Chain A
Amino acid sequence: MMPEMLWKLLEITIIIALLIPMAAMLVWVERRVIGIWQDRHGPNRVGPFGILQSLADLLKILGKEDWIPPFSDRLVFILAPIIGAICVLMSFAVVPFSPDIGVSDLNIGLLFFLAMASLAVYSVVLAGWASNSKYALLGGMRAAAQTVSYEVFMGLSVMGVVLLTGTFNLREIVLAQSEGWLIQSQFVGFFIFLVAGIAESHRLPFDLPEAETELTAGFHTEYSGLKFALFFLGEYLGVTLISAMSVVLFFGGWLMPEPLSAWLPPLVWFIIKIMCFVMFFILLRTSLPRPRFDQLLKFGWMVMLPLALLNLIVTALLRLTGVL
């Protein structure tokens, strides 16, 4: 009993201890890759290839004054970034990394992920409200509307997966894909999930809550120092999480087709797949412009919602008739 629990705690600690530096690395990777795509070099001075850039940034951010605006609501102001980081980290608890790594096999794993994603919005909304400044407030309101809307399609889009695998348990979903990845039949669902995921983690092109050009920095305008770093951490962990979930739900998790699977351990395959998605997210960021807010919501309700419902119904019909 006791050693088992200790072992679990150790596993959690290791996963967190790997995830957080990874998120920090991601900041560097993103800046470097965007640099390459914009015909620049990107940060390449600190350490070999600039790998330690994030460390330098961290040190700098720790040295900054951690200012809490006197006009803010102190408690909520402090709480907001913590909620964000915790929600994203909690979601990782249900992600099955490999056949025997993964914190928990919750039988409602998928629901747990959706729940945490929907709680994460509080971080942004409350940050916007507590800052008590108009830019932050606008950002928070945008975040609330955007997240609540896109949550709907995100939930609906993964229901096709649940229909086909018959379970909410993420590990079982992965195992059910041993014959073939679900992307073969659920490409519409995957597309919707991806778009909704971008909107949920408010990355570009759907970063309207923090749209720099119009809202200075949106909901984290008033944040500085460590609390700002927490927001940053939450954002990059969110990107990793959405990538991981896409891989788990649609691309067979750690599974690979026959000849390839023997080459590398499952965990490595999983990470490689995640990195592909992260790269895709970064590519989206460099290439696509930000839509207007009403366009975003219109696109959501007019295009994505019918598409998600259609996908669900067609999947159900095909399932009933035994095609899938």
Chain B
Amino acid sequence: MNKEKLANSLIFSQLRTMWLVLKHTFTKADTVQYPEQKPYLAPRYRGRIVLTRDPSGEERCVACNLCAVACPVDCIALQQVVDDDGRKRADFFRINFSRCILCGFCEEACPTYAIQLTPDVELAEYDRQNLVYEKEHLLINGPGKYPDYSFYQQSGIVIAGKGKGEAEQERPPIDIKGLMP
């Protein structure tokens, strides 16, 4: 290292740094005054989790447990029941938000778009027990990010009001015992 460079790094660069920092006296703060002034959260921000309903107003979740498996911190617990109309539902569905890391893996794993993360981050509670959300807390009255999607209208499962082969993109079943082509 030559002398000139050394002197530069010793004195000049220090002074330059100080000048650059001093200039920040007149720049606007990047942070916001949080409770009064809310930062913009994008629609796909990963916050509080909700369970959505399909366009007909029925629960989307079929309690397949995929989200619970995907969850890295194991904070989802649920139990499946099959209703009389053929639909599968979660008997209970519990998310422990004091453990949830809001990673969004559950949303990725869900085949029915039932579980969705919303841009609501204000989850603070004084009592930790209040962070355990049951199904009635999670369920919302709407389809969330996918307004038209309805799992049962896509799949071949028979439910009350939809027989075999009546789903969208599904042909009527072929009678394999008949003679007609």
Contacts and interface: CB of A to CB of B under 8 A. Distances in A.
Interface of A: 35-41, 283-284, 286-288
Interface stretch (B15-23, B53-61, B81-89, B115-123): B15-23
Identify whether the interface residues of B are mostly helix, strand, loop, or mixed.
Answer: helix
Contact of B28 (A35, A39, A284, A288): A39
Contact of B21 (A35, A41, A286): A286
A284 B21 CA distance: 9
B18 to A, nearest CB: 5
B20 A287 contact: yes
A37 B29 contact: no
Contacts of B29: 35-36, 39-41
A37 B18 contact: no
Interface in B1-52: 14, 17-18, 20-22, 24-25, 27-31, 33
Contact of A283 (B18, B28, B30, B33): B18
Contacts of A40: 29-31
B1 to A, nearest CB: 13
Nearest to B13: A288
A37 B21 contact: yes
Contact of B17 (A38, A39, A41, A288): A288
Nearest to B18: A287
Contacts of A287: 14, 17-18, 20-22
A74 to B, nearest CB: 39
Contacts of A39: 24, 27-31
Given A36-B29, A39-B31, A41-B33, 15 more contacts: A35-B29, A36-B24, A37-B21, A37-B22, A37-B24, A39-B28, A39-B29, A41-B31, A283-B18, A283-B21, A287-B18, A287-B20, A287-B22, A288-B17, A288-B18
Contacts of A283: 18, 21-22
Contacts of B27: 39
Nearest to A279: B22
Contacts of A36: 24-25, 29
A38 B31 CA distance: 10
A36 B24 CA distance: 7
Contacts of B18: 283-284, 287-288
B15 to A, nearest CB: 10
B28 to A, nearest CB: 7
A37 B29 CA distance: 9
A238 B27 CA distance: 31
- The 7 closest A-B CB pairs, nearest first, are A287-B21, A39-B30, A287-B17, A287-B18, A37-B24, A40-B31, A37-B21
A279 to B, nearest CB: 10
14 contacts: A37-B22, A37-B25, A39-B28, A39-B29, A39-B31, A40-B31, A41-B33, A283-B18, A283-B21, A284-B18, A286-B21, A287-B18, A287-B22, A288-B14
Contacts of B33: 41
A39 B33 CA distance: 13
Contact of B24 (A38, A41, A284, A288): A38
Nearest to B15: A287
A39 B22 CA distance: 11
A294 to B, nearest CB: 15
A35 B24 CA distance: 10
A35 B25 CA distance: 10
A231 B75 CA distance: 45
B158 to A, nearest CB: 60
A30 to B, nearest CB: 14
B30 to A, nearest CB: 5
Nearest to B22: A283
B39 to A, nearest CB: 13
Interface string B87-104: 000000000000000000
A283 B22 CA distance: 7
Contacts of A288: 14, 17-18
A41 to B, nearest CB: 5
B102 to A, nearest CB: 24
Nearest to B20: A287
A10 to B, nearest CB: 40
A254 B45 CA distance: 58
A41 B28 CA distance: 9
